[in-house]
Structures are given as C-alpha cells and as structure tokens.
Chains A and B, each alone.
Chain A
Amino acid sequence: MVLLVSTVTAVRAQAPAVDPAAAARGKGIFGANCSFCHGAQATGTEQAPNLLRSPLVFQDKGGDVLGPFLKTGRPTLGMPSFASLAPAQVSDIAAFLHQRLTEVRGKRLPEAALLVGNADAGRAYFNGPGKCSTCHSPTGDLAGIGTKLQPLALTTAFLTPQAKPEQVRVTLPSGEAVSGTLKFMDEFTVALIDSSGTYHSWVRSSVKSVDVTDPLAAHKEMLPHYTDTEIHNLLAYLVTLK
C-alpha cells in the first residue's frame, strides 16, 4: 500500500499540465468522432479499447504520437483513419485524453511495474522450454529490443508479433502445384501472388489441397500455454537486451 501511494505521487509529478479550454474542446471533438467506439469517457466499449490504458496515449505529448496514429488508424483492426482532423483538433483530443488520465491517475502505475520477473529464469526459458532460441538470437535479430520497445509494447510484441505475409502452396487436381504469397483465403476461395507477381485464385472445392505456412505459427501455438510467471520472466530477460 505504501509502495502504491509513493509510485502514484511520482507519476503525478511527471504529469504534463493540461489546458482546460483545450480539453473541453477536445471532449466535444472526441464525443463526435471517437466516443461511440471508445466511450464518452474514453474508457472503452464493446467496440474498442480503453484509451486510458493505451501505451500510445501514455507516450503522447500534445498530440505528437496521436496525430501520426490517427492519420492512418488501424483499419484492418477496426480503428478507422482520421486523416481529415486538423492538427489543432488532434491536440485538443490529446488534451482531453490527458485530462482524463489525470483524473484516473491514482489507478495507474508506470510500466516499470511490469518488471517483476527473474531475468535468469527468463533466459533459461528462452533457451530451453520456450524454444525461442531456435528462431531468435539475443545478439542477432533481438539485439536492442529492450531499448527499442517499452515494457508493455515488448510484452505484446513477443506474445503476438506483427503479422508477416504467409506462404501458400495450392495443389491442383492434375498434381501441379502453384506457390506464392497468400493474398486471401476463406472457406471457399484462395488467392496468391506468385514469384513473378502474377495473381492466381481458385475455388477451394476445385483444388486438391491448400497448404499455408504461417511464419508466426509457433507464436500462435504458444500463446495459450504461457504462464504469467513465464511471461514476467521473459520480459525481465528481454529488457536486458540493450
């Protein structure tokens, strides 16, 4: 409890001052554009996450992170792009979100709170039962990952890495096979782009087999099996990769 109180004070001391007029304008802009997904108080709905727990919002200062993010959004994940918002509108939204963060501040701890694991146990898991070392190297592809990513982003990066193009091999009734980068697949059709850049598609019931190779298959397979302690230890180890 004592620890909790002192951390909270520390965070409050860092909190940027919010212009109440900007926050009030931002509340209106947020209300009209964002609230029906993120909730009027930005605390999330069935549609979209709580922005008062968003690392992206925590890192933002005056719209510097929010602005570029809103330009593109994440349309495939249900977050539309808001390219038409003026910079002043974005900074007003940011002011509103930071005001809301200040209001709920007492309930939030800094990301350092995530670092409770044992780095040695994490290294052992990485090289042992986790089989991470069969694909990754702490001095190769993961070198510097502890500097590149903040603890929460790093945790989600190893739990669910960014999607990579999947490869697919379609075998036709003749026995002939066509391979390439998977463009689209559902229950009924499959489409790929072959190495010459040509697009092919088939009705799935007309082909013999479809074999997809997902580079993230191992990560998807692992997700349900981590214990929280393994995750905490892995994080403690990965942040040492400076």
Chain B
Amino acid sequence: MKRLLLFSSLIFALFPPTLPAQNVDSATLLHPPADSWPTYNGEYSGQRFSKLDQINSSNVNSLALAWASHFDFGAQSFAQQANEGRRIKASPLLVDGVLYFTITDNVWAIDARSGREIWHYAWPNNNAIHVANRGLGIYGSWLYFMTPDDYLVSLNAKDGTERWRVQIADVKQDFFSASAPLIIGNHVLVGPGNNDDIRAFLESRDPATGALQWRWWVDPDPGAPGSQTWSDNATMMKGGGFPWLNGTYDSELNLYYLGTGNGVPMDRPPHPTPDGDSLYTASIVALNPDTGKLVWAYQVTPHDTHDYDAAQMPILFDAEFNGKPRKLVAQISRNGYFFLLDRVTGEHLLTTKFMPQTNWAKGIDAQGRPIPDYTKDANPPGALVSPYPIGATNWWAPSYDPKLGLLYANAARTWAYFTTAGYGRFRFPPQYVTVAIDYKTGKVVWSHELGDQSAVLIAGLITTAGNLLFTGDSTGNFMALDPSTGKTLWHVGLGQYVTNAPITYMLDGRQYVLVAANDTFFAFALPEPPAGAGQSASAKHR
C-alpha cells in the first residue's frame, strides 16, 4: 500500500498535470469574455464593474457557498514570522476555467470549479520585505509575477514550470516588489517599491524574453521638465515616488494611467516652504506604453509631507460632464480628496473632499490641487492631522458603476499627531466605511460603516449589473450592498476579514463571486438546480 502510494506520487511528480493550451492575446485582454478575468482589475478600465447579472438584487439572498479552499501557507518555508505577506491579497486571474493567484514567493493554479490545486510554484526563500503580492499577468500561455526580491518571473501557465527570470531591482538596496505585472500590447509593465531615499521608476519588459524595453523615471533627469520643482538635483535623484500598484489603460488613446508614490524623505527641502512640488511624485500620470514617455501629469498632493501617495487606481470611464460627453479619469486618493480629470488632456474638472475630517490642506488652488497647510507638518509643537499615513484610502480596489454614475471605495477615518520629537500613535482604531461618490458632483451620496474591529481593513470592491456591490467589513463579514443606497442585501461571516478584492465570472452557465480571507478562497453562487432537473442522477454522477 505504502509503495503504491509512493509510486503514484512519483508519477505525479514526473508528469505534473498539464492544462489545455491557454492563449490570452491582446484582443482577449481588451475584451475579456465573461468566463475570464485576465488582468488585475478584470479589464483595463479599472471599473471593476461586471456585466454579469445572474446573481442580482432580487436573488442575492439565496447566494450560497459553492466551494471553499484553504491554502496552508504555514507549510511553505518563510523567512518571516508574521503574517502580512502570507495573506491572499492578489486578485486572481481566471482563464479557461483555471484560477491563478499568488502570495509572496508563491504561485498557484487552481480549478475554478472546485478550488482544487492543479500546480504550485515556490520561489526560493529570501529575506526581502514580504508585504504583499497582488497577483499575476498573463499573455499567450505565459504567466508573469514579481518576487519580493525583485525578479520578474515568467511561468508556463500549463504546468507552472519556469521559463525565465530577470532582475528588476537590487534587493540589497531595500527594493521589494508587490504589484501585479500588467500586460499591454507587447509590454509587461512592472514596478518595484522602496521606502528609502532612492530614485523611483516603472519598467516595460519584453513578454517573450524579459528584456528591458524602456524605463520611466518618476523623478526627472536634471534640467528636464519637472526638475524645477525640486530644491536640488541630489534630492531629486533619490526623491522616491514608486508607483507600487499597477494602473489602467485606454487602448484608443494608447495611454497608460498610473498613480505615483509619495516623495521622500518627508522633510526633504525646500521645507516648509510651499514651492517645490516634487514632480512627478504623488501624481496621476499618463504614459505612452510603447515608449514610456510622459504625455501628461496631474499632481494630487504637491510636495507631500505625510506619506499620502497617489498610487490608488485611476478609474477610466466615458460620461457626460457639464453637458459634454467626456473621456474621464477619476481617483479616490489616499490624501482624502476625490479628483476628476479629462483623460485625453489631463485637464482638471473636479476636486472634492470625500473624508470630511481631512485637514492637511487649507484650500484648493486654481488647478484643483489641495494647498498644503505646512502647520500640519511634523513640526516641533506638534499637529493633529487627518488622515493618518495609512491614508483616507489605500490599495483597496475601488469600483465604478456606469449605470448609476457612482464611484465606490473603502475608506478610513484616521488621525495622527505629527511632531518632530516623535510620532504620536493613536489608540482609537481607524473606523472604516464604504463611500459612494457621484462623479458629477464629487459628493458622497451614501456611506456604509464597516466598523473598527481590525487594525487594517484591506477589502476591495466590485459592482455588477445585477445591481450589487460586494465587499467585506472589519469583522470578517462578506457582504452584498445595494449600490444605489448602501443598504446590506446579503452577508456571510467568513471568520476572517476579507484580504483581497472580490472577482466574479461565469462558468458552465453559473455566475460565481470569489473572495479571499487570509489563507482561504470562498466561491459563492446561486444554488444548483436540484439533481434530476434536466438529467438523471446517475448520469450526473457517472
């Protein structure tokens, strides 16, 4: 018996299961079919709105668990003792009935019908920062993922075998990588992160070979446009601003929209004078994905001094604004403000405060940018500041419902006491809330309290044509809300709070909603028709 078992596992090791040939081409990425989710946001606009409506507001109360699948990350060898990097923060990809997801150092292919593992790939143990891994990119039949120690790795989607690896940055300089590579045309866009004083960049790599195609520097070259917003070249050339999430893409304009990180150090010169914006940190930028050239930029936090990066997803949609049809880009930003721009030109249209207690700015300038109140910097007597650096929102995936013209994000009410003597940490935990923002006015039309029970709430959102919004609260409930009112229509306690953004897809005529909490995936669907309906029970079980 023992020998037999051994023999069969040996066969398994020699011949890992292979999957039908995946072929995700540019057309699939531009127009993903309903039975796929081939990029981080499902498609390029960042709306996280699904046209599926089998699950809808009239039947969501019968939504039930289809499967749950637990992944024992404890069995992996980690250098780290704490849990942050071991949570499923990735948005899984779905192609041909197979889900692909990551946690730091690890990639899995699992069956979307059952949650069962098909293959698993483990990157060697390393001492890099293991904060998160937000998922994969797929192109042809090849997967792309970033390791914490800054390699871009390409795997065969069929069996998880490694095709190649290329180094993007040097872990010895404290780089780390957490974002999901995004494939646009013939480009794999990747960016690492770094919390230190170092020059920030985004790269494009060749999907076939991993060779560098271009590199865009957030901090400009000396003398180049933008460099006049820095005190001196030395500060600028290590000014930071890493775009640590991926962005969104408009294929007609051929523009890639990306939010950049905050400048470093927080008290860099000139300080505390109001000039010296530190371009292109804390900005929404539009890049040509073929050349890496900057087309336009809009800074949402001039000369940031509070760690308010602008990495949040720039959401693309076409809608009327002031009576004119517009191509728009919106960002619900970490600094507590909502921004609406024309995405062709970067022209500013609207700025509003979506978290009312936000107090680091004293007004809005002629270009719609908040005007920093430098008495709210870390100064000797101390200043009470909202939001706390974790932000009014963070990487928690937002959504846009085009039927209602409402944008949604999970947000936090937070405070901190900034001083030069130290950093006052507050004992009142952040209070989390889902906000719905009318893009035309920037006003919050409803908000739904999510509680203050977890130190970090990181659940993202999706909306669907079934008139539903899915997200999680701070106590471990996964919920469907009415997107027009914020009212709870359905909920289930998962025991652990949601750690990624839900996705939804159609498989065999059945709509699934898939979400992760810590180390477990939960797939929900409407109950299957009773056995016997349509086919005999024996036929079904054969």
Interface residues of A (CB under 8 A from B): 28, 31-33, 35-37, 39-41, 43-47, 49-50, 53-55, 58, 76-78, 80, 82, 84, 107-114, 116-117, 151-152, 155-156, 159-163, 184, 186-188, 216, 220, 223-224, 226, 228, 231-232
Contact = CB atoms under 8 A, between A and B. Distances in A.
Contacts of A110: 421
Contacts of A216: 428
28 contacts: A31-B127, A32-B81, A35-B129, A36-B176, A40-B129, A44-B389, A45-B129, A45-B131, A46-B131, A46-B389, A49-B425, A50-B423, A109-B420, A110-B421, A111-B422, A112-B421, A116-B381, A152-B419, A152-B421, A152-B424, A155-B382, A159-B424, A160-B426, A160-B428, A186-B474, A186-B477, A228-B381, A228-B382
Contact of B382 (A47, A107, A231): A231
A47 B84 contact: yes
A224 to B, nearest CB: 5
B134 to A, nearest CB: 12
Q: Give 7 closest A-B pairs by Cβ, nearest first.
A: A78-B455, A53-B423, A40-B174, A113-B380, A39-B195, A186-B475, A36-B129
Interface string B509-525: 00000000000000000
Contacts of A36: 80, 82, 84-85, 129-131, 176
B415 interface: yes
Given A77-B455, A224-B357, A45 B381 contact: no
Interface residues on B, range: 35 or more
Contacts of B395: 46
A166 to B, nearest CB: 12
Nearest to A28: B127
B150 interface: no
Given A39-B129, A46-B390, A186-B475, A33 B82 contact: yes
Contacts of A45: 129, 131, 195
A236 B267 CA distance: 26
Interface string B395-435: 10000000000000000000101011111111111000000
A39 B198 CA distance: 14
A37 B265 CA distance: 18
Interface in B211-259: none
A79 B210 CA distance: 38
Given A33-B80, A47-B84, A232-B381, A186 B127 contact: no
Given A43-B196, A54-B425, A114-B421, 10 more contacts: A43-B265, A46-B390, A55-B422, A78-B456, A108-B421, A114-B381, A114-B419, A156-B425, A184-B475, A224-B386
B491 A113 contact: no
Nearest to B449: A187
Contacts of B174: 35, 39-41
A187 B81 contact: no
A193 to B, nearest CB: 17
A195 to B, nearest CB: 25
Contacts of B59: none
Contacts of B428: 160, 163, 216, 220, 223
Contacts of A163: 427-428
A20 B25 CA distance: 54
Contacts of B424: 152, 155-156, 159
A223 to B, nearest CB: 6
A170 to B, nearest CB: 18
A49 B81 contact: no
A195 B451 CA distance: 26
B79 interface: yes
Nearest to A45: B195
B427 A156 contact: yes
Contact of B453 (A46, A108, A186): A186
B389 A113 contact: no
Contact of A117 (B82, B381, B391, B394): B381
Contact of B82 (A80, A152, A184, A223): A80
Contacts of B382: 114, 152, 155, 228, 231-232
Nearest to B454: A78
B231 to A, nearest CB: 16
